[in-house]
Amino acid sequence: IAASENISHAATVLGIAQANVSKYLADFESKVGLKVFDRTTRQLMLTPFGTALLPYINDMLDRNEQLNNFIADYKHEKRGRVTIYAPTGIITYLSKHVIDKIKDIGDITLSLKTCNLERNAFYEGVEFPDDCDVLISYAPPKDESLVASFITQYAVTAYASQRYLEKHPISRPDELEHHSCILIDSMMIDDANIWRFNVAGSKEVRDYRVKGNYVCDNTQSALELARNHLGIVFAPDKSVQSDLQDGTLVPCFQQPYEWWLDLVAIFRKREYQPWRVQYVLDEMLREIRHQLAQSQQLRPEQAAESED
């Protein structure tokens, strides 16, 4: 009632008759001998007692939920909320290809939330949100007490539209300083990005300072700008497969200048996790790794077909 300031709205949320909500409220106020709401206005407003009472009510509800979750976990029941955070592109991938494969979630509520890397996350580590159960990230956790389970390794390199490259040719990473680069917020240092590339044919990694007119907090937005010929984007190879196939984007370099990153699933140690989180985490990682294994098996076949 306090959240909506309206008994009718509260009744709808609770799924019970409005008259019953009014009766429960009147019974409660009668038992404690104090008014919780002021009914003199069109909206219900908390009285000073109601305002002081509400935090205790919320705390009691939280403790009740914790108790229910404890009992469900002890019995290995599939109930309660599991919250997964990931960057925009990863959330899209999970929604399209992974979540529907977790068939038997019972009464678990699966909450998918977008969490693009904050500034300096690549260099300082990523924050783990308070309500998070699993965070899938390109960067390691800032909190070293958390577990980072390796999922896969992928290459990041520079791409641009053919039109952009025809007007602004480039052949090596050291030429990037003369180009319009689409910056990623999590890689910002002052007003620039530091893009890393392996030296072609070796494991040596070099840093290159790049600048540009556009800054994005996620790769998907940066790719859209690159598709519109606004500059060079630094993106994972897996994010541009369709663009490469239809020619919307092309690699900036003929030689394999790239930066290899780890994709990890970050979570609390298993002894501190509810069973429902372990269940969803295990099922999700199993499906992701299964799909990765399938794609790796297809690559030799696709290569053979292209040679034929």
Domain count, the chain: 3
CA distance from start to end of the chain: 69
Examine the domain organization and report whether 252 and 268 are in the same domain: no
Summarize the confidence of residues 63-81 as an average pLDDT: 80
Find the helix or strand (DSSP H, E) in which 122 lies: helix 121-124
pLDDT class for 307, splitting at 50, 70, 90? very low
Domain of 53, CATH number, reads 1.10.10.10
Domain of 281, CATH number, reads 3.40.190.10
Examine the domain organization and report whether 68 and 147 are in the same domain: no
Examine the domain organization and report whether 11 and 146 are in the same domain: no
Query: Is 161 a residue whose pLDDT tops 90?
Result: yes
Examine the domain organization and report whether 257 and 283 are in the same domain: no
Domain residues for the domain of 45 are: 7-74
Examine the domain organization and report whether 164 and 247 are in the same domain: yes
Query: Is 274 a residue whose pLDDT tops 90?
Result: no
SS3 state at 237: helix
Interatomic CA distance for residues 57 and 51, integer angstroms = 10
Q: What is the pLDDT of residues 223-264, one digit of tens each?
A: 999 999 999 999 988 788 889 999 999 999 988 888 888 889
Which of 48, 74, 100 is the last residue in one of the domains? Answer: 74
Return the percentage of the chain with pLDDT > 70, whole number. 94
Q: What is the pLDDT of residues 82-94, one digit of tens each?
A: 999 998 888 988 9
Give ∠ CA 131-132-138 in degrees, rounded to 5: 145
Return the percentage of the chain with pLDDT > 90, whole number. 47
Of residues 251, 242, 200, 195, the one with CA closest to residue 220: 242
Examine the domain organization and report whether 166 and 244 are in the same domain: yes
Mean pLDDT across the chain:
87
- Residue in the structure block whose two tokens are 């529907």: 100
- pTM of the full structure: 0.65
Domain of 224, CATH number, reads 3.40.190.290
